[in-house]
Amino acid sequence: DLPYDIVAVPDPERRFGTMVLAQPGLDVEVEQVFVSNDLDTIARVTIGDVVVLAAHPRSPTNSDGSNKRDDLLAALTDLAAAEGEATIVVGDLNATPWSHAVRSLQDEAELRNSLQGYGLQPTWHADWRLFAIPIDHALMSQDLTTVSRSTGPANGSDHLPVTVTISPVG
């Protein structure tokens, strides 16, 4: 048992998705705001005054997958920029923090990366620790800050779990 409520889970019919947990008792609303095809979605989760945009684009294993990943990240950038304050973007974005797509997301939507001050924290591939890369992200608007960030132990997934605690600045 976790001390959190599960407020968003992947559609069981889909292969990809993101789970969002929140403290019990919060007013939560979940909606799918972007669906480009049978794989790519962005969930908009409102928890009190905070908006969480959760995404898991397809793996860029070929040029088509790479283009579709970049299209979803461009849509995510537009959505995050339109939300403004109290916005968190989370998910396996299938891109590193130094990739063009993630840097554009951060810059254009004015988001900070929860990795700042916490080291590299690679998340994929869980079995390749020496060669793993950080592709699971938590980005937030400038009015929010990272209180703690860590990766957990391998749990059967090809990704390590990420736990991030975020609070308002000040």
DSSP string across 71-94: HHHHHHHHHHHHH-SSEEEEEE-S
Residue 72 — φ and ψ, nearest 5°?
-65, -40
| Domain, as residue range, for 65 | 5-168
> Is residue 163 over pLDDT 70?
yes
| Global confidence as pTM | 0.89
What pLDDT digit, counting tens, does each position of 45-60 carry? 898 899 999 998 888 9
CATH number of the structural domain spanning residue 103? 3.60.10.10
What pLDDT digit, counting tens, does each position of 7-27 carry? 777 667 666 666 777 788 888
Domain count for the chain, please give it: 1
Strand partners, 140: 88, 112
